[in-house]
């Protein structure tokens, strides 16, 4: 929660009257560092740009059908967002990997192990 701009101006007006930062902070029951920051910039900071928090259920379901063995970070890259655990839960999709997946198959693990031994 942020303080309203008119309140900030009221606090800074007290400073211009000659009161110290400590006295004004005690009077308005706010932190001294807050007043120092307001002296630098009185405007209220707007929210930062965020990644989308909601993903279309149909698009997520279609992506899971198209790429059933992809990892969450791969889906996040495609959708431009963070994680999908809530979306999966709402759709009733488990995020466990298929044992036959190309990325986790025993054959790939064996190749990786052999490559490490060779080099």
Give SS3 for 91. helix
pLDDT at 32: 94
Residue by residue, pLDDT tens for the chain (119 residues) are 678 889 999 999 999 999 999 999 999 999 999 999 999 888 877 776 666 567 777 888 888 889 888 887 888 888 877 666 666 776 777 666 555 555 555 545 555 555 555 54
CA 70 to chain centre: 22
In whole angstroms, how far apart are CA 51 and each of 46, 68, 76? 15, 24, 10
pLDDT at 9: 92
Backbone torsion region of residue 70, taken as left when φ is above 0, otherwise alpha when ψ lies between -120 and 50, otherwise beta: beta
Spatial distance between the Cα atoms of 101 and 110, rounded to a whole number of angstroms: 14
pLDDT at 78: 83
Cβ count near 26 (within 10 Å): 12
Spatial distance between the Cα atoms of 20 and 26, rounded to a whole number of angstroms: 10
**Residue 56 main-chain phi, psi, to 5 deg:** -60, 125
Spatial distance between the Cα atoms of 29 and 27, rounded to a whole number of angstroms: 6
User: Interior CA angle at 18 toward 7 and 4, to 5°?
Assistant: 5
pLDDT at 14: 93
pLDDT at 36: 92
pLDDT at 28: 93
């Amino acid at each position: 929660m942020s303080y309203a701009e008119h309140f900030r101006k009221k606090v800074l007006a007290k400073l211009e009257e000659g009161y110290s930062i400590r006295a004004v902070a005690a009077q308005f029951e706010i932190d001294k560092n807050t007043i120092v920051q307001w002296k630098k910039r009185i405007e209220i900071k707007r929210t930062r740009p965020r990644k989308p928090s909601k993903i279309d259920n149909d698009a997520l379901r279609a992506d899971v059908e198209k790429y059933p063995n992809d990892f969450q970070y791969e889906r996040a890259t495609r959708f431009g967002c963070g994680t999908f655990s809530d979306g999966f839960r709402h759709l009733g999709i488990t995020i466990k990997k298929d044992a036959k997946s190309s990325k986790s198959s025993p054959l790939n693990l064996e190749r990786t192990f052999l490559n490490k031994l060779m080099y």
